[in-house]
Every structure is written in structure tokens, then in C-alpha cells.
Structure 1
Amino acid sequence: MKILRKFICSLLAHRNAILTMHSMAQRFTLVVLVLITFGCSDFVEVDPPRNTLVSETVFEDPSTVQSALANLYYSMREERGMVSGTFGLTTAMGIYSDELDYYGFEANYSQLYNHNLTAGNDIIMAWWSQAYRLIYGANAIIEGVESSSQLTTMEKNSAKGQALFVRAYIHSLLVSLYGEVPYITTTDYLGNNMVSRMQEEEVYQNIIGDLKDAIVLLEGFEPTSHERAVPDQYTAKALLSRNYLYIGDWEMAATLATGLIDVFSLEPNLDQVFLKDSPETIWQLKPEEGFNTKEAEQLIIPAVPGQRYALTDDLVGSFEMGDLRSDHWMGSVSDADGTITLHYAFKYKADLNETTSLEYSIRFRLAEQYLIRAEARVQMGDIGGAQQDLNAVRNRAGLPDTMADTLNSLLDAIYKERRVELFAEQGHRWFDLKRSGRANDVLGEQKTNWKDTDVLLPLPEAELETNPNLLPQNAGY
């Protein structure tokens, strides 16, 4: 088994995309799946009895099914994917938009920062490949538990619901970044290798369908741990609310956000919002014991020079006078001469290595839901309700009630509030600029090489060569 795992991992190092593994025999699909998706990490190893196919054992024992799910979350956090705290959306789309300045020398990141991105960019390829590996792993769990004869109905439902959430979550990021993408729902890698891209509207309908199913399946499911590290029905509702907002279904976005606001509560102490036991957290990725977040490691500047990222002056200047977030969620450091002062995101404060884990990597939290409902309400003409939601976030930050009282002024106020509340969190700023149609106006003034086609990333060149059905390439690349 270990020799085979090393062989498969070697293949993976040369070709990340699971969809293009032509040479693997069909009868070894699930064996390859488990080894590729899970076996290249030491986080959890699932070794079946000798002479028994992995496909016959993993989905007959609830503990090994949970191990397979845990590895999906581990892969999100640790690998070079969109959700990773090291290589993911927070830093990459922070420098792509107007949140972060980049001081490093790595060519792939420089392309993002300078908006001269090419289809051969390694980050773009890594995100695409890891995304579809996660989707493939989620599909394998869905198929495996459906055919299991040993799992209880609750065990099947909870595993399938989590996997459907993962499938929807990753597709939601792909469509936001790349536009039209395939929506993969099977483990038939030969068939998947021939897929074409779907229109964005169809992708979103698939996302919504998966999340609706996940919510039903996760009804009554309570993770054994109360650390909010396992997706449940509330996590699926948070993602569904966000996607309804993105497609302009204001009523459903507001309804789902209301359901979450009724269950969770805003953490009043700004210094405790990002601690692992914050009452505001809906879902977070748990690090290995004794470690904290990669976000803190990436974003905190220990000394100048030596920084890789810093908050842009434009972002720092966007905070209102008296906004406590500028004091509690931002730090600053100067060079030895005191001539240069840079600001950094200080939401996550704990060192990576600690005797205990103090902070987990938050992916969904309640403040976003208040701002989702505020935006949905104003779009439906509920000015008072929108003001109330906006003020809940503003007041927590020490700010007075908003003075905005018209549709346009409230929308501007909500977008501004999203910027200062959700900065340096998983690319929210970029997605807001893109979905609101303001990317050209905002970034056109700040990015020398900005083009209107930059609202979408290019599909990886290697994927287009492997599967011509993905053509045409996005405009501008």
C-alpha cells in the first residue's frame, strides 16, 4: 500500500488534475481516488485489511468515512488551493484587488499584483487542479455512502450532506473566479475529462440545488465537537445565503440570513471575534493541535524590511474616524529609521506555533450575514431594516448609526462596510467589486495594467490543452 501510495503521489506531483488520468484502469478508480485525495497527507491514513479493495471498506465504517471527510477539510487548509491560508484567496486576491500591496519577488504573485496574468500561471493551475480534486473526493464520498450497506441513515445523510456542501462550496469559488466552469457530479474521470463549461447561471443553479439537498440531509446532525469545524446545516445555509445574494435573489438571501442571525450572535469584543470559540463563527478550519492560522503567519509583518504583504494606503484610509476595527484589527510596524510605516491585517494574532491552538481559520461568520441581509433588504425597498442590519455591524465597531437613507446611498454604505469589516478574508473585497460591476472604476484607477477582461481569471493553459472542450479561453488571455 505504501509503495503504491508513493507511486500515485509521484504521478500527482507531475500532473495535479485528477480528471486527466487516462492511464488508470476503471476498476481502480476508488483506490486511486483515496490514495490521491487522501494518501499524500499524513493527517489521516486509512489502511483497509489486506487483499480488500478500498472501495469495499472505506464506506462501510463511519469512522473511515469521517476520516475521508476530515481529509477534505485538511486539504482545503494545507494544500495549494483557493481555501488555503497560505496560498489561497486572502493573499492572492488581496493583491489582485486593492487590499494588499505585494513586496515579494515570486513571478506568479507578481503577475497577479501587476495584472499581467498569463494562462500558464502556476497559482491558477494549482487552484483549478486542487479544486477538482476536492470535488472528485466529495463525489466519491457521495457515491460511496449511497451504496453502503452498513452505515445508518443518519450516518449516510450527514456524510452526504457534508460532501454536497464541499462540492457546492468549491464550485462557488470556481465560478466566481473563472466564470463558466464544468460542474462535476461523478467520479467518472474519463467522462469528466471530456466535459464542457456550463453557463454561470447553470452553475449557480447546481450550487443552489446541492446546498438545498445538503440542508435537508444535515437536519438534526450535530457534530460531536462544538468547535464549528465540521460543516452542518448552518454552514450550508450561510453559503446558500451568499450565493442567493450573488445572483440577486434578495428574498431568499434575506430569509436564510435571518435564520442564521436568529441562531448565532455577534461577538461584542473585537479582540475575540477570531478566537476559536467565538459565538460569531459559523464554520472554521481547524489546524493541527498546537498550531494556529496560516493567515497570521502570512499577513503579520514582523519587521521592515522583510514584509511580503502590507495593507494598501487606500484600504487604511477607508476606515472612519473612531472605527475600533482600525485599532484592533490592524497593526503597524516601521523600519529602523522610522521613515517607512506599513500596516498589516491583525485579525488573527496568535503565532503559528503554540502549545495550544487559539485561533482557527474562519470561513463563514455572522457579520457577513448581517451585511447580506442589509443588502438584500435595501434591494427590496426595506430601508429601515437595511439600516438596522448595517448599524449592528457599525455599532459593534464603535461607530454611530448610518446616515444613509436612500437605496443608492445605503448600497454604497453597505459596500464600504463590507470592505472594512471583511478585509483580508477570503477575497471578499474582490468578489464584491466583481459582482457589483465596480471593478473597472475602482481598479482601473489603481492598477496600471488593469483591463476590463481581468474580471475573470484565465483557465489554466494545460487544462485547455488536455481538454479542448473547455475552450474558448476567457477573453483577454
Structure 2
Amino acid sequence: MQARYIVLCVLALSLGACSKFVDLSPISDATTENAYQSASDAEAALIGAYDAFQQEYYVWDNINFTDVVSDNYYAGGDNPEIFQMDLLTYTPVNSRLFNAWSQLYTGIARVNIILEKVPGITDPKLDVNNRKEQILGEAFFLRAYHYYQLVKTFGGVPLVLEPATSSDPGETNKPRATDAEVYAQIIKDLEFALTRLPDTYSDDASVNKARATKGAVNALLAKVYAQKSDRDYNKVLEYCNAVTSSPAGYQLINYNFLFDGNHYNNDESIMEIQYTGGAEANYGPQLLLPPSVSGDTWRKFVTPSQDLVKAFDSEKDVIRKNASILFENVSWTDEYWAIGGGSVPFAYKWKSANGWASTNRQYLFRLGDIILLKAEALNALGRTPEAATELNKVRARVNLPGTTATTKDAMQLAIEKERRLELAQEGQRWDDLRRYNRAETVMNGLNEIDLRNNQRVDYKMTKEKELMPIPQQERDRNKQLSQNQGYN
């Protein structure tokens, strides 16, 4: 897919204060020196790098890998490989794993070309407003973001930091780095980006929310320091505070506005994928939305679980439930909700399918997530009353009373549940369960009944299943790749 990210004229092409926008075609696989000679070449290469966000992993497989594998959603649909995600029976030959691996490394390869080529471009237009350094900062952010997806999904992965110069397996096949080494590289890339990126590029939110900014870097740093095994909650708090106090002015908005399709690039958004329709549309909503919205009659994917619906109801969380889930009568059998047809819930944070060409989108980062991560950090640091203050900001905006949790342990569970309800269908749940060391307890404690046989589903969750297996197709190509424990 050709990316056509809107690029601010003052940043890309002009010496003046131009506020118009231009479309540039991406350079995604340049192989010759003369492909990187001008400012326009650099901008086109960067657009090609951002285009990775329109690959299937970022369209909806990130939801399969984080929400469907968790207690939030069933697979729905009819894809055996997604059923494996749902039932925690995924194997190294699951092609969705290889596709995700390949797409993420393709994104990294595009960035590596930018980091090699752009420093040598002498076009004076890149000196305007320090644009060359900004491009490099954006590129380092993108590489860090892709590696973050890889390391939290697979654990340690090969660190590829330069463009390949030959097809010789001796050069291209690298062993796995440790997860600590991958996280260290992510942090290094983000620290480089933080010193080169602005809080905002202009007064236009469609630019500020589309591109890497200081806010996006600080948000990712907070997540990285929380997610890595030797987590540092002082650092998490530092970077969360940098987001909440940003000159960009992020603030919580009406929860319904986040997902109604009419208020994207809002004040709560830190960064989001800019689906604008046409060639730059999102096909994901067509896969999830019910017949009344999609116009289809086939069974849809990513079905909200009985346990998720009960979690909303237990809190009397009407606003977020209605923004996240839509019930509708269907003719097909759903093994958890209705045999032979009946009322079935649908994932509803996307509202419009538009014939496979939706402008609905995912948030890469938004403030509600960061406020709850800040609450988590404060609680972990023994500052539980302050954690309650942050948690209650998120609850108050959906008309819920303040938390009743007063102890550190109770507060952690309250924050975990709040994140579940706040961020359902946003690709966070599996990361949260792993971070809290609760994946086994939660998954093995579920009471999900398969209505076809009236038997409780046994997820047989183990510590090893917290990570996905390294794709066998990649291991066949690269004999230096070891497999994750628990997989053949």
C-alpha cells in the first residue's frame, strides 16, 4: 500500500511559513545512492516508514495478540489460526506469527535505510527548523516502536540496526538478542528521539497526532520501563509526568467522542494512525462490526467475552460498555453466546465499516492509558493515595464513583480492572496481565462455557505461553534462532 501521509510544507519543502500540505510518494525500498539526494527524498523515505502502520499487524493482529489471547475477547469468525490465539494453543507454524514478524522487521528495515542515508543528504532545505534531526528522531522512534512490539510478543529477537548490504546468510541471519538487550536498544533509540522531536509541529492536530512527538516518545518510554522484566517505576512515573505536563496540552475528553468516528486527532490523543479513506482506509472494522453496520451476513471476529461483559456490568460502567460493545441478534451459532443464533456482542470501538474502507482508527497512545499507568507507578512506589487520585480522574469522566481501594494490593487490582474497562479492544490487556504476573491466575480461573458441549474451557495457561513462539518459517530460514521455552 502506498502511504500518502500528509507532510507539513514548512517541514518538508519550504523555507517559509507555509501551512498547506503536500502528498509525497514513499521511498520504501531504495537500493541506489541517487535515491537519497534531496529533502523530498528524505521525506518520502520517512512516509514509507510510517506506512508500516497500515500493515495487517497494526490493522488488527495486534488486537488478536493482546485482546483475543486474553480474557477480553473470543476469536469469533472462522479462522483456525485465530482460534489458536483464543484457546492459547498457538504453535510455531501459525502463519499470523510469521506475518507479524515479517511486517515488523520490514518496518525496521525501512527505518534503517533512513538512518543510514539521510545524514548524508546535503540539501539545505533539511537545515530549516532542524528538519534533518527531526527526521532522524522520527525514524529512531519508529524503530523503537516496532522493536517494542517484537520483544513483548516474542521475547528476545535479533537486533538488526543497519541496512542489509548482501543476501549472504552470514550477514543477514543473526541470533536472538536477550530481551534485556532489546529493551536497552529501544531505550537508546527513544532517548535519541526525545532530544530531536518537538512537542508539536504546528497548530494542525492532523500533523501532531500523525507523527512522532515528544509526547509519543515519553509515552512509549513509560510503557517500556513498565513492561521490561526489571521494571523501574520511578522512570515510569517520570515519563508519565512528562506526558501529563506536556506543552502539547493533552487532556481527557468525553469518552464517547474517542470512538464515535467524528472526533479523531482530539486533545486526548497522543498519536494515532491516520486512516483517511480511499487508498488509506482501514479494513479492520469490516471484520468486526455486526450486520446492521457492516452490511454482511457472515460471522465476525473479536467477539467480546462473557467475562468482559460481566466486568463492565459489575462496575455499572454503562458509558464505556456502550462505547465498546454492541449486542445484535444474528443467525449464526456463537459457541459462547448463542447456539443456532441469538443475541451476540460485537467489538464496537470502531463504528463504521464503509465497505472495507473505514476511516476509523486505533490510538497508538492516548492520555487515559498514561494516567492509569501513572497510577500504577505511584501505587508500586507506595504512594497509594496519589494513585487513587489518578485512577479517579479516569473513573470520574465516565460517571463512576471514586475507588474504594485503600491498600496497595487492592489498588493494584483496581487499576488492573480499570485498565481492562478503559482500554478494551486497544491492544493492552495481555501486556497488563503479564506485567502484573497474573496471566496464569486469570486465564486458568476463567469460567467460560462452550455451549456446544456445556463444558468449561480449559485454557491450560502456563508461564511459557506468555510469549508467542518464534515463527518456524523464520527459524527454517535462520538456523541461529532458538525457540522459546515450551514450544517444539
TM-score, normalised with respect to structure 1: 0.82
* Residue 18 of structure 2: aligned partner: none
Name the CA distance, whole Å, in 2 between partners of 1:457 and 1:175: 10
2:329 aligns with one of 325, 334, 344: 334
AA aligned opposite 1:194: N
1:198 aligns with one of 170, 177, 180: 177
* Residue 10 of structure 1: aligned partner: none
| Secondary structure of the corresponding residue to residue 99 of structure 2 | helix
2:285 aligns with one of 293, 296, 301: 296
* Residue 319 of structure 2: aligned partner: 324
1:268–1:223 distance in 2 versus 1, CA, 3 Å? closer
AA aligned opposite 2:141: F
* Residue 458 of structure 1: aligned partner: 469
Name the CA distance, whole Å, in 2 between partners of 1:273 and 1:266: 12
* Residue 471 of structure 1: aligned partner: 482
* Residue 413 of structure 1: aligned partner: 414
Matched-pair contact (CA < 8 Å) for 1:293–1:352: no
**Residues 16-48 of structure 1: CA distance to partner in whole angstroms, max 9, x if unpaired?**
xxxxxxxxxxxxxxxxxxxxxxxxxx9935599
1:352 aligns with one of 354, 360, 369: 354
| Secondary structure of the corresponding residue to residue 156 of structure 2 | coil
* Residue 116 of structure 1: aligned partner: 89
Q: What are the equivalent positions in structure 2 for 1:25-174 lying under 5 Å apart?
A: 44=25, 55-77=32-54, 79-81=55-57, 83-85=58-60, 88-150=61-123, 152-153=126-127, 154-174=130-150
1:307–1:395 distance in 2 versus 1, CA, 3 Å? same
Deviation at 1:122, TM superposition (A): 0.6
Deviation at 1:464, TM superposition (A): 1.4
Name the CA distance, whole Å, in 2 between partners of 1:411 and 1:218: 34
1:58–1:215 distance in 2 versus 1, CA, 3 Å? farther
| Secondary structure of the corresponding residue to residue 287 of structure 2 | helix
Matched-pair contact (CA < 8 Å) for 1:293–1:361: no
* Residue 24 of structure 1: aligned partner: none
Q: Which runs of 5+ in 2 are unaligned?
A: 1-22, 333-337, 447-456
Judge which range, 399-408 or 457-466, deviates more: 457-466
Deviation at 1:184, TM superposition (A): 1.6
| Secondary structure of the corresponding residue to residue 331 of structure 1 | strand
Name the CA distance, whole Å, in 1 between partners of 2:53 and 2:213: 17
* Residue 244 of structure 1: aligned partner: 225
Q: What are the equivalent positions in structure 2 for 1:3-14 lying under 5 Å apart?
A: none
Judge which range, 410-419 or 329-338, deviates more: 329-338
1:472–1:351 distance in 2 versus 1, CA, 3 Å? closer
Name the CA distance, whole Å, in 2 between partners of 1:295 and 1:404: 37
* Residue 19 of structure 1: aligned partner: none
Name the CA distance, whole Å, in 2 between partners of 1:400 and 1:267: 17
Matched-pair contact (CA < 8 Å) for 2:158–2:177: yes
Name the CA distance, whole Å, in 1 between partners of 2:311 and 2:199: 43
Percent identity over the alignment?
Answer: 26
Deviation at 1:309, TM superposition (A): 2.9
Name the CA distance, whole Å, in 2 between partners of 1:470 and 1:354: 37
Name the CA distance, whole Å, in 2 between partners of 1:354 and 1:180: 35
Deviation at 1:292, TM superposition (A): 5.5
Deviation at 1:281, TM superposition (A): 0.4
* Residue 277 of structure 1: aligned partner: 265
| Secondary structure of the corresponding residue to residue 60 of structure 1 | coil
Name the CA distance, whole Å, in 2 between partners of 1:100 and 1:464: 30
Deviation at 1:449, TM superposition (A): 4.4
Name the CA distance, whole Å, in 2 between partners of 1:220 and 1:336: 50
Q: Does 1:214 align with 2:193?
A: yes
Cα-Cα RMSD: 2.7
Matched-pair contact (CA < 8 Å) for 1:267–1:273: no
* Residue 8 of structure 1: aligned partner: none
**Residues 380-428 of structure 1: CA distance to partner in whole angstroms, max 9, x if unpaired?**
11112101110011111110111111110000000000100011112x1
| Secondary structure of the corresponding residue to residue 282 of structure 1 | strand
* Residue 261 of structure 1: aligned partner: 244
Name the CA distance, whole Å, in 2 between partners of 1:284 and 1:47: 21
Name the CA distance, whole Å, in 1 between partners of 2:188 and 2:424: 29
1:287 aligns with one of 246, 255, 275: 275
* Residue 18 of structure 1: aligned partner: none
* Residue 33 of structure 1: aligned partner: none
Name the CA distance, whole Å, in 2 between partners of 1:432 and 1:47: 34
1:67–1:328 distance in 2 versus 1, CA, 3 Å? same
Name the CA distance, whole Å, in 2 between partners of 1:46 and 1:193: 22
Name the CA distance, whole Å, in 2 between partners of 1:314 and 1:354: 29
Q: Which runs of 5+ in 1 are unaligned?
A: 1-41
